[in-house]
């Protein structure tokens, strides 16, 4: 199978080879192309050293020069070019202490995690696949390059990546890989929370989120949750995840819905951003609560919850509590009608503001705040009252 390379990628390969070096596309881009998917990024491996590669291109950035990686900039596009290398010893279970540049692409491929990621391609030379990655892609298998125990000892995050790739591809994780994960699951605790959070996020938005079952069966789950306990029924959670759109905050909320701990504390430990923490915790908090009652109750909720978040919450409620699907449909209709008619449910939507009230003689401070709140409450119940004349008359009584 021939891979149609983007013009920039072909240019980089031609430039390197024109100067007497080897160059191949490698890793995820080759894997995705073989699966019939459009690669998001294109990485190039080359026999050229970083100084030799930099000399051939007008604009480069030393993004990982210690490990042999430069970024070539072409028309505002970025392409990583990395010198063939082998890794030295791993002392922290995360990254090699040293790397050594080599001139052989097979040696470079031997340091990679999974066979499907250890394939190189060059339009003129074809594929270099010393570990059978193409066969594993066809057979839909996740298999390590060499011994799984060694790969996971080098970088414990690879255990979580195996589960994430299962979610992304739907491939089967080979038995020896699962056994090696189970034996070394505790090593995930030494991986930085930022890296764990990134992999969990990708797993949650994957095409096959049911792969989370391997987090529990291999013993990775308590370490992925930074030592916190999971108090839910995974057999129940998986159908929820599979019924949910691939929205990270929504699926994460379903995943954490039965966790017997402080949701916010866990998300902060995993270095989620504040916006995501607020949204996920809102879903977890409001899922078990009764539906807002009537048009007025819905407006009270919409005052504090953005429309898109509220719509997502309704979707989650329908997944977790399918018996109230009809009620949820009614709420959706009411929400749509509220927005269509432009009805007021926030202070900013009132036909008067603080300046109007001050001009009408309402004292500033707590009294004015109370008056505004009273006006808003009235207008949410009686939308026709949201006119400046009516509100000022009511406020000055």
Digit-coded pLDDT (tens) for 3-45 = 999 999 999 999 999 999 999 999 999 999 999 999 999 999 9
Query: In the chain, where are the structural domains located?
Result: 1-130, 140-288, 289-340, 347-395
DSSP assigned state of 226: T
Q: What's the pLDDT score for residue 139? A: 97
Record the tokens describing residue 272, joined without a space: 């989620």
Q: What's the pLDDT score for residue 259? A: 65
Task: Output the DSSP codes for 122-155.
Answer: ETTTEEE-TT-HHHHHHHTEE-BSS-HHHHHHH-
The dihedral over CA atoms of 268, 193, 235, 312, expressed in degrees to the nearest 10, equals 50
The residue assigned the tokens 């006119």 is 387
Give the residue among 291, 254, 252, 298 at the shortest CA–CA distance from 275: 252
Q: What's the pLDDT score for residue 293? A: 82
Compute the residue count for the chain: 397
Record the tokens describing residue 389, joined without a space: 């004349």
Report the C-alpha gap between 214 and 178 in whole angstroms.
Answer: 8
DSSP assigned state of 306: -
Give the residue among 178, 14, 23, 190 at the shortest CA–CA distance from 94: 190
Q: Which CATH architecture has domain 1-130?
A: 2-Layer Sandwich (3.30)
CA distances, 340 to each of 233, 310, 337 (Å): 41, 16, 5
Q: How much is the pTM?
A: 0.87
pLDDT in tens, 219-262: 999 999 887 766 777 888 999 999 999 999 999 999 988 765 57
Q: What's the pLDDT score for residue 325? A: 87
**Fold for domain 140-288?**
cca-adding enzyme, domain 2 (1.10.3090)
Q: What's the pLDDT score for residue 160? A: 98
Task: Output the DSSP codes for 192-225.
Answer: -HHHHHHHHHHHHTSS-GGGGHHHHHTT-HHHHT
Q: What's the pLDDT score for residue 89? A: 62
pLDDT in tens, 78-134: 999 999 998 756 555 556 566 789 989 999 999 999 999 999 999 999 999 999 999
* pLDDT class of 396 with cuts at 50, 70, 90: confident
* pLDDT class of 363 with cuts at 50, 70, 90: confident
Q: What's the pLDDT score for residue 54? A: 95
**Pairing verdict, β 85-87 and 172-173:** unpaired
Strands ordered across the beta sheet of 77-83 = 60-64, 69-74, 77-83, 43-46, 23-26, 120-122, 126-128
SS3 23: strand
**b/e per residue, 94-111, with b = 16+ CB within 10 A?**
eebeebebbeebeebbbb
* Sequence-distant (≥ 6) Cβ neighbours of residue 61 within 8 angstroms: 70, 71, 73, 78
Record the tokens describing residue 325, joined without a space: 């699907």
Q: What's the pLDDT score for residue 72? A: 96
CA distances, 369 to each of 6, 82, 372, 374 (Å): 60, 61, 5, 9
Record the tokens describing residue 100, joined without a space: 């050594």
* pLDDT class of 305 with cuts at 50, 70, 90: very high
pLDDT in tens, 150-161: 999 999 999 999
Return the percentage of the chain with pLDDT > 90, whole number: 81
pLDDT in tens, 263-297: 898 999 999 999 999 999 999 999 988 888 899 99
Record the tokens describing residue 334, joined without a space: 């009411």
First-to-final CA distance of the chain: 81
**Pairing verdict, β 120-122 and 99-101:** unpaired
The dihedral over CA atoms of 357, 359, 360, 361, expressed in degrees to the nearest 10, equals 90
Give the residue among 336, 347, 335 at the shortest CA–CA distance from 371: 347
Report the C-alpha gap between 134 and 116 in whole angstroms.
Answer: 7
Q: Is residue 142 within 8 Å of 116, Cβ to Cβ?
A: yes
Residue 60 φ then ψ, to 5°: -140, 160
**CB neighbours of residue 311 within 10 Å:** 14
């Amino acid at each position: 199978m021939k891979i149609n390379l983007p013009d920039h990628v072909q240019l980089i390969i031609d430039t390197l080879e024109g100067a007497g070096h080897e160059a191949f596309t490698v890793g995820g881009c080759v894997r995705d192309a073989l699966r019939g998917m459009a690669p998001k990024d294109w990485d190039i491996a080359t026999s050229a050293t970083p100084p030799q590669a930099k000399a051939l291109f007008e604009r480069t950035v030393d993004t990982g020069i210690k490990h042999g990686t430069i970024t070539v900039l072409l028309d505002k596009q970025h392409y990583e070019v990395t010198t063939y290398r082998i890794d030295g010893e791993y002392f922290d279970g995360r990254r090699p202490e040293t790397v050594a540049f080599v001139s052989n692409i097979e040696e470079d491929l031997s340091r990679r995690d999974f066979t499907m990621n250890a394939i190189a391609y060059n339009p003129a030379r074809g594929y270099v696949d010393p570990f059978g990655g193409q066969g594993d892609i066809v057979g839909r298998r996740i298999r390590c390059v060499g011994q799984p125990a060694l790969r996971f000892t080098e970088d414990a995050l690879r255990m979580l990546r195996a589960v994430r790739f299962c979610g992304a591809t739907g491939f089967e994780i080979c038995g020896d890989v699962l056994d090696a994960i189970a034996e070394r699951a505790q090593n995930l605790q030494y991986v930085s929370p930022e890296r764990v959070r990134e992999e969990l996020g990708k797993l949650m938005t994957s095409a096959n989120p049911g792969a989370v079952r391997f987090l529990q069966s291999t013993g990775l789950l308590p370490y992925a949750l930074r030592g916190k306990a999971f108090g839910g029924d995974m057999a129940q959670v998986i159908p929820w995840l599979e019924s949910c759109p691939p929205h990270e905050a929504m699926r994460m909320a379903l995943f954490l819905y039965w966790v017997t701990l402080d949701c916010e504390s866990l998300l902060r430990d995993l270095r989620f951003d504040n916006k995501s923490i607020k949204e996920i915790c809102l879903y977890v908090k409001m899922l078990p609560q009764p539906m807002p009652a009537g048009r007025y109750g819905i407006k009270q909720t919409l005052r504090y919850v953005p429309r898109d978040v509220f719509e997502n919450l309704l979707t989650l409620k329908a997944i977790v509590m399918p018996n109230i699907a009809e009620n949820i449909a009614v709420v959706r209709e009411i929400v749509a009608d509220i927005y269509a008619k432009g009805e007021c449910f926030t202070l900013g939507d009132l036909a008067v503001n603080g300046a109007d009230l001050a001009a009408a003689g309402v004292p500033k401070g707590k009294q004015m705040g109370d008056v505004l709140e009273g006006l808003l409450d009235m207008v949410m119940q009686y939308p026709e009252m949201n006119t400046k004349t009516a509100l000022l008359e009511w406020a000055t009584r």
